[in-house]
Amino acid sequence: MTTVETDESFGGVTPDAARRLLLGAVQAFAERGFHATTTRDIAGRAGMSPAALYIHYKTKEELLFHISRVGHERSVAVLTEAAQGTATTGAAEGAGGAARGTAREGGAGGSAPRLARAVRAFVRWHAEHHTTARVVQYELAALDAEHYEYIVALRRRSEEILRGVLEDGVATGEFDIADIRGTALAVMSLCIDVARWFSPEGRRTPDEIGALYADLALRMAGHTA
Amino acid sequence: MTTVETDESFGGVTPDAARRLLLGAVQAFAERGFHATTTRDIAGRAGMSPAALYIHYKTKEELLFHISRVGHERSVAVLTEAAQGTATTGAAEGAGGAARGTAREGGAGGSAPRLARAVRAFVRWHAEHHTTARVVQYELAALDAEHYEYIVALRRRSEEILRGVLEDGVATGEFDIADIRGTALAVMSLCIDVARWFSPEGRRTPDEIGALYADLALRMAGHTA
DNA sequence: GTCTATAACAAGATAGAC
DNA sequence: GTCTATCTTGTTATAGAC
């Protein structure tokens, strides 16, 4: 519980040494930031000499990119799954988009429970994986141009998913929102910032925060229970 | 308008060279982060040699502390002033605290307009001074222990002010909030994160974002117009 | 108060033995 | 695949002339 986040996100990475380096880098980057972290520190945490790092990753930046990529993919996956119900945003899916806009209210597929589930899951992820999330959210500037573009594309996906839920809810009359895009950004922003301030020593569990934030998001969306 | 933020926050700093260094440091820290910024870069932006920096500041960290301190003081002042009405939070003021809790609704001193004003002003500040705000909010970890404590104390002030407004509103029945502390933190978090994503090139002005966020905060507070 | 020059050191990354 | 040793570069901060 108060354990220092083992982070199963990188469980599939092989060989073993590469995974240990990734884990060490996540912790170091989260604690000190990318630029303040030395390759010696990372290698040390992985129980290796500085030189061994370069067998698995070409540069320190590549290590950061790897973390960012996996982290973003996980959080997008969590959000996507939780936001499922009637339909997600257009571009993200091939078939099944026809159901979008069907004025069906309430039920597991209703926009309100979809929004609540999405926010709760997204917030939970950011709290539970706050170490990874911090790196993922606040060290983007250290990526090189090409890698940065790749990550930004993933981030757009998250925004679109959330915006899709809000749009659906407005269409079905469940939500009352004047500025859908602005509200979607605000909700995203609220969730993301959890990574900045969350501490396992704090007085709330990730799920409690998720539940609170789901309620706040529904209020922001003008959902009248 | 699209000007690169002249930042009048540091207008009073003398001598002139010290102010130019502060301004250069803010820009550099915001663009690249504290650790990735070199003293050569800062001095260069101020039109000086690297050595000249050390006449005005003992270390690079001292420069960061100065920025953080002034920035936090400004944002707390902005929030305090905007949140004024009936009363602010207890500790913050000596006399006048007696009015707190007076079940008076509506008007300029009502909790709803106070919350709206506070959020709008706080958000505006974070957008307009996004360069300074970014440094102030995201480079705290680079401060040494003593300076860090000093800044954290200032931050607590902001939280207390906002929480005070929510408490007053619940007391007067203007707001409907189950978890006041959590909601206050969420509203703060929402405002602060503006510094991360705001861009002068974006489609909204600082005041427009402030207005949107004021509305969102009222919704989060369960304010029923 | 500012400069040029430099001390003192730490960083990322590589070479070559094992 | 990992190590020790090292190259190369760039960093903070200081010394001493002007």
Contacts of B193 in chain A (CB under 8 A): 189-190, 192-193, 196
**CA–CA separation, A203 and A208 (whole Å):** 10
Is strand D less than 7 A from the beta carbon of A52?
Answer: yes
Residue B205 DSSP one-character state: -
Lowest average pLDDT, out of A105-114, A172-181, B107-116, goes to A105-114
- pLDDT for the residue B86: 57
Q: Which of A122, A123, A193, A220 should one mutate to test binding to chain B, selecting the residue with the greatest count of B CBs within 10 A? A: A193
* Residue B124 in domain: yes
**Nearest nucleotide to A49, CA against C1' atoms:** D3
Is A6 or B167 the better-scoring residue by pLDDT? B167
Q: Which of B29, B216, B220 should one mutate to test binding to chain A, selecting the residue with the greatest count of A CBs within 10 A? A: B216
The two structure tokens encoding residue B141: 């970890």
Does the structure show a pLDDT above 80 at A98? no
Is strand D less than 7 A from the beta carbon of B58?
Answer: yes
- Secondary structure string (H, E, C) spanning B50-71: HHHHHHHCCCHHHHHHHHHHHH
* Residue A2 in domain: no
**DSSP labels, chain A:** --S----GGGTT-SSHHHHHHHHHHHHHHHHH-TTT--HHHHHHHTTS-GGGHHHH-SSHHHHHHHHHHHHHHHHHHHHHHHH-SS---GGG-SSSGGGTT----SSTTSHHHHHHHHHHHHHHHHHHTHHHHHHHHH-GGGS-HHHHHHHHHHHHHHHHHHHHHHHHHHHHTS---S-HHHHHHHHHHHHHTHHHH--TTSSS-HHHHHHHHHHHHHHHTT---
Q: What is the pLDDT of residues B57-95, one digit of tens each?
A: 999 999 999 999 999 999 999 999 999 985 544 444 444
- pLDDT for the residue A74: 96
CATH of residue A66: 1.10.357.10
Q: What is the pLDDT of residues B188-206, one digit of tens each?
A: 999 999 999 999 999 999 9
* Residue B29 in domain: no
**CA–CA separation, A90 and A109 (whole Å):** 16
**With pLDDT > 90 as the criterion, what percentage of chain A qualifies?**
82
**CA–CA separation, A37 and B44 (whole Å):** 25
Give the domain extent around A109.
Answer: 60-90+103-220
What is the number of domains present in chain A?
1
Distance B140 CA to D16 C1' (A): 36
Nearest CA in chain B to A38: B35
Are the Cβ atoms of A193 and B192 closer than 8 angstroms?
A: yes
